[in-house]
Amino acid sequence: MDSRAQASTICSCHSTAIADINCDAQTSTQCTRMSSCGAAGCLQPQPASGEDVDLGYEHEQPDEQPDEQQRQQQSDEHHNCPALKPPPFLDSRLDSTDTVAADSAVKAGSGVNLGLRSHSAAHPLDPLTPTEIAVAIASVRAEGDTPEVRDGMRFVEVVLNEPGKNVVALADSHFFPPYQPMLFRSKASKATATISSLQQQQQQQLPPRQARLVVYNKKTNKTSIWLVELSNQVLNAPSAAHRHHAKILSSVVVPDVQPPMDADEYAECEATVKGHGPFVEAMKKRGIDDMELVMVDPWCVGYYGEEDAPSRRLARPLVFCKTPGACPLENGYARPVEGIHVLVDMQQMKVIEFEDRYLVPLPPPDPLRNYTAAALRGGVDRTDIKPLLISQPEGPSFRVNGYAVEWQKWNFRVGFTPREGLVIHTVAYNDGIHGRRSIAHRLSFVEMVVPYGDPKDPHYRKNAFDIGEDGLGKNCHSLKRGCDCLGYIKYFDAHFTNFHGEVETVKNCVCMHEEDHGIMWKHQDWRTGFEEVRRSRRLTVSFFCTVANYEYGFYWHFYQDGSMEAEVKLTGILSLGALKADEHRRHGTLIAPGLYAPVHQHFFVARLDMAVDSQLGEGLNQVVEVNMTTEESGPHNPHNNAFYAKETILRSELEAQRDCNSRTNRHWLVRNTRKLNRTGQPTGYKLMPDSNCLPLAGSDAKFLRRATFLSHNLWVTQYNRDECFPGGEFPNQNPRVGEGLATWVKQDRRLEETDIVLWYVFGVTHVPRLEDWPVMPVEHIGFRLKPDGFFDCSPAIDIPPSKLEVVEDTHHKEQVSVKGVTQPDTLIATLISKL
């Protein structure tokens, strides 16, 4: 077997690395200290600074561990819970280690005994803890034959090797709240219906968790993939030495690939270029003697020919120069340096090609270049903004247990990976007597491509694969209350490995909060004047990241009407070029004298592992394309006004390569072929595109070799756990044409009544404006997932009416009428939605 193919057989790219709330013995003290401050150890959401909110309670910790009798009582209570009446979802104000149903009965190295759970037991989808990451790294490093091999190891990523869907179903059915045995159907339960639920539980075990490591060896320029078993025996070993000996399940060297670049490499590359003699001389020719003003942004080289082959680890930096001044955040991107060609060997960390090809004068300092507050940039800030306070006096409507979230009948799990960033797991809706109904198994953004439209050097090489070449999660922000997020906020931290194998934490990486979203529905009877109106709110889970000059915010919104929305917010600083005097380029926009911004596009790929009304792993879904069609003139359309929704089943993968069509309002339904609604139609969810585009580059453009998946807006595949990234796992310097989606669909697997995955490609074409400078106002793009026949009527019909409260307003002396009642002139009616 080819070693790359062999590597794929151990590849489960669905991986997570957020802060562990179920702290192990080594970190429990730290988590206790964090528990009241809104960090990862605190399950109680915290208000943003300056907001009018009263917490009303404090985080609680148990004074002592329960004795054996109490543990037995807890265990009995757990086993006696009726299967169809699960215990209430655990309160968000308590740490998950405080609310475990029973003590552990752990068999060394063999997993957790079903029915008895450990205080430190993690859900199979819980992100790796810092201890798990450290143990995995130490175990792999210990496998090095020589000190040189061990010293050469660089750890690109360490993530959870996500288990099969049957393991997740087993965990959710018997191990973790809300305990719903109907989620898991084992062969034993089908064959032996008389076996009691408890006996079935005792026959099953959760397997030990696994870590998946991508390791780059700087000495040999080789990339390998490792799987490490994280047994409780090793994790709970009394000494650090014993934690270095976790079981290595597999190790495969993957040839002809380069893994993503790392921030440590970028910093080292910048220092290398700035210390290169010919480069220093070239900058002096441009009037720059102070290397502290110079910014070097390493960019991956892509693949344009054999010179870019992955036998070398390469980068082609872009160069910028700050303007000397007093501003602490001087915008160096305002002065791009043109004409200098640099190629860096990132393995040897040395400049292997350098040429000062032509001289373009540095653009003159632009007085509008900086974006700090007025006092620092020499401008004037507006003064007419009054405070806007977010008040939730009764606290939030969501509840959190570890990484499990419950809100307004929604429930799902939060995950995070260094590559994808935010991941949403096991999305379901509690639909009254119908119980917990599944919608999706896993939702995430799996690739980005940003191609530029200027054919001149160096811009034609600017084709960033920001997820596959860099990683969104690794570049995430530590979010700030009152700035990035407003309201009652629950934060999650993120734990990663750096390039040298040290565990690092990004605090407050993921933000979750509720937002008012205007009117949900309204109607007034014109005869009687009677009116009913309901306000909408949504739950938002998000994170932000910076990749060089651009910022991206990724949001998942959940609505009370059963719909979901994926949104990307684009902001940051334009990637600019310098112009000679009187030079004009039609492939961009003139921003300032000597400064222009090339046209470009941003493409995102969302991987939607759907499970509409399905038990995990069931293959009962199909995809239907819907196009609005005009009825032909004739007896069935005598007035020429008729049109209808025409449905077409996408029966195989080759049929399911589709593009958006706004003329026909094209959208796609994911239906369950066995579940029917009250009108006898299959239940489903529809993918509704927003504005979209396709690549404007010619079909022979070099970057499209690695991005064949951009040729269509929608791809549908039969689920395969090893098919995770549309351009393959290693797009950096990838010489293979069409790796990933374009290759997988050649199997033309059937898509009728199976476990399906949607790959939705959406993008925006950016023609820069003067108003995008110096920092671009947010651009919004995304898509929606909406119920279509999934419910028997509107699920938002049960939202209670909003309550009107009168609060004092000391700043306005005016009368406000509320339902015909005139309030005193010192009072104003404030509408507060209480759910």
Provide the pLDDT for residue 31: 34
d(CA 87, CA 103): 17
Looking at residue 46, what is its pLDDT?
35
Residue 823, Ramachandran bin (φ over 0: left; ψ between -120 and 50: alpha; else beta): beta
How confident is the model over 91-125, as pLDDT tens digits? 332 233 222 222 222 222 333 333 333 334 789 99
Whether residue 341 contacts residue 353, with contact meaning beta carbons closer than 8 Å, is answered with: yes
The tokens describing 184, both together, are 């898991």
Write out pLDDT tens, residues 157-170: 999 999 999 999 98
Instruction: Give 481's DSSP letter.
Output: B
Query: What is the residue whose two structure tokens read 């040189």?
Result: 148
Question: What is the predicted pLDDT for the residue at 358?
Answer: 94
Which two structure tokens, joined as six digits, stand for 726? 């549309």
CA distance 360 to 340: 10
Q: How far apart are CA 543 and CA 493, in angstroms?
A: 11
Asked whether the beta carbons of 54 and 364 are under 8 A apart, the reply is no
pLDDT of residue 832: 39
* Amino acid 581: pLDDT: 87
Run of H or E including 75: helix 68-79
pLDDT of residue 22: 33
Distance CA 156, CA 473 (A): 12
Domains and CATH numbers, the chain: 3-254 (3.10.450.40), 263-375 (3.10.450.40), 412-475+542-573+600-623+651-766+775-787 (2.70.98.20), 803-832 (no CATH)
Long-range contacts formed by 596-600: CB under 8 A, 24+ apart? 597/768, 597/772, 597/773, 598/452, 598/453, 598/454, 598/459, 598/462, 598/768, 599/452, 599/453, 599/454, 599/765, 599/766, 599/767, 599/768, 600/450, 600/451, 600/452, 600/453, 600/462, 600/575, 600/765, 600/766
Q: Which residues of the chain, if any, have pLDDT below 50?
A: 1-120, 187-195, 198-199, 201-202, 806, 812-835
What pLDDT, on the 0 to 100 scale, is given for residue 377? 84
> pLDDT value at position 72?
42
Q: What is the pTM of this model?
A: 0.84
Amino acid at 776: M
Non-local CB neighbours of 1 within 8 Å, separated by 6+ positions: none
Active site residues per annotation: 466, 550
Residue 267 pLDDT = 97
The CA dihedral of 543, 547, 549, 555, to the nearest 10 degrees, is -20
